Amino acid sequence: MPETKKDKFIRIAENRTNKVIQMIRNLSNLSNKSNYEFNSEDVKKIFNAIEKETKIAKLKFTDKGEIKFKLNKQ
């Protein structure tokens, strides 16, 4: 029986999600100040970039990433 679109989604989503989780865990290893030097601005930049990309990805799942323009009534 051929793989359905849902089966393919599940297979790939699980794989990619597990890769992202592992990369986040690897990133957290940088928090060891005995091995690395960083400041709060460095940490802020890292997590701002991650949060931005996460929001963009989530938008693509929810409304196809479309940005809607509306003029408010006065």
pTM over 0.85: no
Report the length, in residues, of the chain.
74
Mean pLDDT by 10 residues, the chain (74 residues): 95 97 98 97 98 91 72 73
Lookup: tokens for 55: 């929001």
Upper half-sphere CA count for residue 37 (Cβ side, 13 Å): 0
| CA separation for the pair 1, 69 (Å, rounded) | 45
For the chain, the first-to-last Cα distance in angstroms comes to 58
How many other C-beta atoms can be found within 10 angstroms of the C-beta atom of residue 33? 8
